[in-house]
Amino acid sequence: MYIDFSKLFHNSSKDHSGGGTVRVPKDDSQWPDEWKTTYYKDYPRFEKITLDRTTPKADFFELIAKRKSDRNFSGKPVDKKTLSTLLRYSAGITTRLSSGRARRAHPSGGARFPIEIYPIIFSGDKDISAGLYHYNIKEHSLDVLWQRPFNKTDIGELFTYEWVQNASLAIVMTAVFARSQSKYGERGYRCILLEAGHIGQNIYLNAEALGLSCVALSGTRDKNLEKLIDIDGITESVVYGLALG
């Protein structure tokens, strides 16, 4: 018999009566330290590429009107300055507060920030070679995980759509589930997917402002991507991908 687990999950995560959510005290002095800590994934032993800090200008309402999914990829490398702007204003830190906390380009349920960003560069240049990278949000840099070429066969093993093979890069989002779910339980899973969507829209708007074609992907080969990134697919797993160029 077929069971629609999506309906079961949606119902069980509606409110605290479902049993799968965590009761969060209104008094934050009762919260465990974990709920008050912002976690940043880092690769301390890996080489880093420092990204540019730009202050671009664009007409927000014009970008909304022009935003579209566009597969017209040139395959040419995206330069470092453009990638820096794209990452910072899609998922990076935009303001540092006097309290020591940082405000990012997107909302996050309970400021848990469960999403990690992995750019996969298909067309590299002298500044950023083809390869797999992790966006180090805290330092606004790229952790160099694996510099290597990606041919059409390689890209086809990661994404189902043939036209992704003409893109300059892909941005893959993963979720570290415990960051949100330790505080919000099953409800936290909803927050995670919503946050990925917020970032995805930011990427679209940034791409439009920067003159890049952009397409969100449902056709990600998650297990192959998780093997490439070297994550277990359980505590951290692929949740979203976009192709750009």
DSSP three-state, residue 232: coil
**Domain residues of the chain, as ranges?**
58-244
Q: Which residues pair with 132 in a beta bridge?
A: 120, 146
- The CATH number assigned to the domain with range 58-244 reads 3.40.109.10
Closest CA to 240 of 197, 201, 176: 197
Maximal C-alpha separation, the chain: 56
Residue in this structure with the two tokens 């036209």, named with its chain if needed = 163
pTM as predicted: 0.94
Q: What are phi and psi of 229, to 5 degrees?
A: -75, -20
pLDDT digit of tens for each residue in the chain (245 aa)? Answer: 677 888 888 888 887 655 566 778 888 888 888 898 899 999 999 999 999 999 899 999 999 999 999 999 999 999 999 999 999 999 999 999 877 789 999 999 999 999 999 999 999 999 999 999 999 999 999 999 999 999 999 999 999 999 999 999 999 999 999 999 999 999 999 999 999 999 999 999 999 999 999 999 999 999 999 999 999 999 999 999 999 99
